[in-house]
Amino acid sequence: MIQSRNPARWSEVVAEFPEAGPSEVEAAVSAAREAWPSWRKTPAPRRAEVLHRAADRIAAEKEDLARLMTREMGKVLLEARGDVQEAVDMLLFIAGEGRRLYGETTPSELPDKFAMTVRDPVGVCACITPWNFPVAIPSWKIAPALVAGNTVVFKPAEDAPAVGQRFADILCGCGLPPGVLNVVHGGASTGAALVRHPGVDLVSFTGSTEVGREVAIACADQFKRVSLEMGGKNAIIVMDDADLALAVDGAVWGAFGTAGQRCTASSRLIVHRRVYEEFANRLVERARALRLGDGLEESTDVGPLVNAAQLERVHSYREIGKREGARVACGGEPAREPPLDAGWFYRPTVFLDVEPGMRIAQEEIFGPTTCVIPADDLEEAIEIANGVPYGLSSALYTRDVGRAFRALRDLRTGIVYVNSPTIGAEVHLPFGGTRRTGNGHREGAHVLDAFTEWKTLYVDYSGRLQRAQIDQ
């Protein structure tokens, strides 16, 4: 059995689920394959109606889902409500694609011949999602897979199984035929069995770059389509003409929202030397004032890390940073006083005197930790921002429109913000990154490119043999 526990009070068991082994994965994939022929022939607008009904149901249950999420993975209730709202927005957005699964028509080079393209579903999709956005991210994957005519086997994260199961239950209760959406619970072995199953045609994975590499290799061996959304080491650039109060607000939200457990977290702050000291002082003051606590309490600013292993990982970077010569300006330790000692709380941490090549400035920490790096000008700041293996999100604070547009052009990330932090993506725009962040696919807008195959159709009504490129 998998136990879901409250990271704010580890003694509290939220839910228990049976761990799926090879036989359960086999049953789920078989059910999806059996359901696919009928589901793919269901008109797309009818498939979309299920998503519309699910959006209404989730909106009605928003508070209950948000509270379950907070109990299960720790984020503060305000953010959990936003997570659920994102799923509502995504379901409604993707439901609209049920009447917009557009192809193309184009003139043929031959007379009396018609040419067009249509989208076809891929087949059985494995959707493997992380614990940090346990309703929003499943909606990014499952909704487009379903509206495109695919069937799904969904594996929620083992640290957030209950809210993932509830999301699936709502979808199934809104009119999905049996077998169209299936759920398996488990950890790495369950995920590996699902990825390697020959009955799975496509794998959509969000998680660490290390695991994503293993998924890609396994899929390549069977020529499966794979969509990867992985890590980030995102930077906010603060210029000397920036509104510093606004930039500090953005840095605090970007670095410490969800206790830093976001792929888009602002884990690097690249600051012009002229304002470096003032910005750092303001940031440290704000970080020290953040209130740790149970996310269900409205006064809490920062909730716990998801489990003990994550706390130990985050804490290990304090020593790594100190050995490299960085200075811990605040935080850098677990919170051990009652009642925080009942969970996995870590104090918001700011590293100063950081060099761009340090491990703390290169590796994804995934906790309430950020490092402040000085830069002499915009060109150096952009070079530092681009100088990591990841390319998910970046941001620039400036009042200079010329600087803004140079940064928009030269920052090598899938998402760029001006005068806001590196978090805050909207569902109707593409979400994803470059380099080790992803493999070229996007979620949100254009997500159907991952979940459909293009089919080209020709109809020759000339009544005679016509040879393309020859009979012109």
Catalytic residues: 229, 263
Closest CA to 421 of 390, 397, 455: 397
Name the token pair of 416.
């760029």
Cα(417)–Cα(402) distance, rounded to whole angstroms? 15
Closest CA to 414 of 242, 231, 209, 246: 231
Calculate Rg over the CA atoms of the chain: 24
**For residues 433 and 392, is the Cβ–Cβ distance under 8 A?**
yes
Closest CA to 305 of 8, 2, 3, 84: 8
Name the token pair of 319.
């020593």
Cα(46)–Cα(353) distance, rounded to whole angstroms? 58
Residue 236 — φ and ψ, nearest 5°?
-105, 125
Name the token pair of 286.
């704000």
Counts for the chain of helices (H) and strands (E), in that order: 14, 19
Residue 3 — φ and ψ, nearest 5°?
-100, 125
Alpha-carbon dihedral 365, 432, 183, 213, rounded to 10 degrees: -60
Cα(260)–Cα(298) distance, rounded to whole angstroms? 19
Collapsed DSSP state (helix, strand, coil) of residue 107: strand
Name the token pair of 361.
């400035």
- Paired strand residues for 396: 237, 418
Answer whether the bond into residue 339 is a cis peptide, omega within 30°. Answer: yes
- Sheet containing 124-128, strands listed edge to edge, beginning at the edge strand earlier in sequence: 181-183, 151-155, 124-128, 202-206, 225-229
Sign, Cα dihedral of 167, 169, 171, 173? negative
- Paired strand residues for 457: 116
Q: How is 29-47 classified by DSSP, letter by letter? A: HHHHHHHHHHHHHS-HHHH
CA atoms within 13 A on the CB side of 466: 16
SS3 content of the chain, % helix, strand, coil (to 5): 40, 20, 35
